[in-house]
Amino acid sequence: MRVHMPYGTEGLWIDLPDRCDVQVIEPRWITQLRDAPSAVREALRAPIRLPPLSASVKTRDKVAIVFSDITRPVPNATLLACVLEQIAHVPKKNITLINALGTHRPQTRDELVGMLGEEIVREYRVVQHDGADRSNLLFLGTSSYGHPFWVNRLYAEATVRILTGVIEPHFFAGFSGGPKAVVPGIAGMETILANHSPAMLASPNATWACTEGNPVWMDIREMAGMAGPAFLLNVCTDRQGAPTAVFAGDLIEAHARGVEFAREHAVRNVPQPFDIVVTSNAGYPLDQNLYQAVKGMSVAARVVRPGGHIIVVAECRYGVPEGSSYERILSGGRNPAELGARLSSRTAVEPEQWQVQIQIATQMKATVHVRSGFLSDAQIRSALLEPCHRIEETVAQLLPERGPDTTIGVLPSGPQTIPTLCEDACIAPYDPATNRLSSACKGDLPAAPPAVR
């Protein structure tokens, strides 16, 4: 069987043995919007539970617009152009665009132009959020989980706050978009580390497709509300990153409707786990480095049998990245089990530790192989992973373990798919009217949970 895998910007064809039971699992793709700008404008004129954006923003307002950084496949230029069009009556000096970097690196000017367009970068104030610089942050209190909430000062002090982004599956927050633009997007480092701590991620509800009952998500949602009301503009996208649906208006309600749409198309039930799972990381920009590729590993772990194998197809044109906390933490372990034990005994949390924690959890279930055209074997092994030069060769080497009965699952779209064993209770239908799952996620937490420290 020949399958095309997203890989960088060009893609990669792989050939899998016909004698094996091969199942390709993809989202329920739908046609992209014929005229995305018109659909966005319409959503801004008739938002969910809010007045039209143009009518709710006054000339004297100080407006903060948050947009996603380069690691997210968001049509930022389209979204921001439509928003700015609707608030054209506001002087440009009163508008600030904030790049929601979270813990990621700042973008170059050329990258910002590629994301937003030359005119927007030239005409408007564009600020790159720095969660480590306290002078740029404002403390707004403590969440129900006992987490201090530091947020970008320009956002907190604005009289109008607009959040943009994409709604897609997320490996420990359930879904992206919505309040994630605030936390971790423009939050302080202390806030991010607390929200992404091992104690929070250890919850069985901190996983794909689960929001209600997910401590990470509930903490994010609460803190975003502490920053004040916000107008949301989110989209869902197809495999090329083109919008398929637009959700605008009230932060919580508009996002809930977008989550239901994304869940319906992303969740795919499978009857049993596979011996081998081949996954992409959905191509560029999601597979730009190994750190991001952990998402592809994590989603494959949902449907690989214990002791099986995961093969991740990720270009990693920007490396591990070199010098990152992720690289340094991994280099301090001899094997996943030893490093996992060391991290679990820690009380302090450092940036990107969460990515290592999820990678190790995946590796404790299956052996992970990485196919990358930019990483050396030494780099892959230093990350405690196995190099793969050609998918076909690696699969051929693994076949003797199970012989002709080997089952292979293929996730061409990687983390844009949520493959789910039928007995998984955490992907029950979501009810936007109550903002809850119709059947509770595993181990539901109380509405006001105790502090997690």
Sign of the Cα pseudo-torsion (416, 291, 221, 301, in order): positive
Using CB atoms within 10 Å of the CB of residue 230, give its burial: 0 to 12 exposed, 13 to 18 middle, 19+ buried. buried
CA angle 53, 55, 59 (to 5 degrees): 100
- Please, are residues 303 and 432 in contact by the beta-carbon 8 Å criterion? no
Question: Which pLDDT value is given to residue 423?
Answer: 60
How many of the other CB atoms lie within 10 Å of CB of 440?
A: 15
- Please, are residues 33 and 246 in contact by the beta-carbon 8 Å criterion? yes
Catalytic site residue 309? no
Distances (CA, A) of 130 to 5, 152, 242, 426: 35, 8, 29, 34
Distance CA 307, CA 344 (A): 22
Question: Which pLDDT value is given to residue 384?
Answer: 97
Give the residue among 271, 281, 308 at the shortest CA–CA distance from 394: 308
Q: Of the residues 129, 170, 309, 369, which is catalytic?
A: 170
Give the residue among 257, 66, 49, 54 at the shortest CA–CA distance from 163: 66
Distances (CA, A) of 339 to 14, 262, 336, 342, 361: 33, 35, 5, 5, 11
Distance CA 302, CA 318 (A): 27
Distance CA 85, CA 319 (A): 38
Query: Which residue's entry shows tokens 């903002």?
Result: 435
Question: Which pLDDT value is given to residue 244?
Answer: 96
Question: Which pLDDT value is given to residue 310?
Answer: 98
The two domains 2-27+272-421 and 36-265 share their CATH topology (first three levels equal): no
The CATH H-level superfamily of 36-265 is LarA, N-terminal domain (3.40.50.11440)
Please provide the DSSP assignment of 357-383 as one string.
HHHHHHHTTEEEEEE-SSS-HHHHHHT
Give the residue among 138, 141, 142, 130 at the shortest CA–CA distance from 161: 138
State the pairing for strand pair 407-411/274-280: parallel
DSSP type of residue 133:
-
Sign of the Cα pseudo-torsion (75, 128, 64, 229, in order): positive
β-bridge partners, 367: 309
Distance CA 186, CA 151 (A): 6
Catalytic site residue 170? yes
State the pairing for strand pair 21-24/407-411: parallel
- Please, are residues 357 and 201 in contact by the beta-carbon 8 Å criterion? yes
Q: Which residues of the chain fall below pLDDT 50?
A: 425-453
Helical packing angle, 353-363 and 336-344, nearest 10°? 130
Sign of the Cα pseudo-torsion (109, 103, 263, 247, in order): negative
Question: Which pLDDT value is given to residue 424?
Answer: 56
- Please, are residues 310 and 279 in contact by the beta-carbon 8 Å criterion? yes
H or E segment to which residue 257 belongs: helix 251-266
Contacts of 410 (CB under 8 A, 6+ apart): 3, 5, 16, 22, 23, 24, 25, 277, 278, 279
Task: Spell out the domain ranges in the chain.
Answer: 2-27+272-421, 36-265
- Phi, psi (deg, nearest 5) at residue 269: -80, 140
Q: Of the residues 104, 147, 309, 369, which is catalytic?
A: 104
Question: Which pLDDT value is given to residue 442?
Answer: 39
pTM confidence score: 0.87
CATH value of 2-27+272-421 in 1.10.540.10, 3.10.20.90, 3.90.226.30, 3.40.50.2300: 3.90.226.30
- Please, are residues 140 and 207 in contact by the beta-carbon 8 Å criterion? no
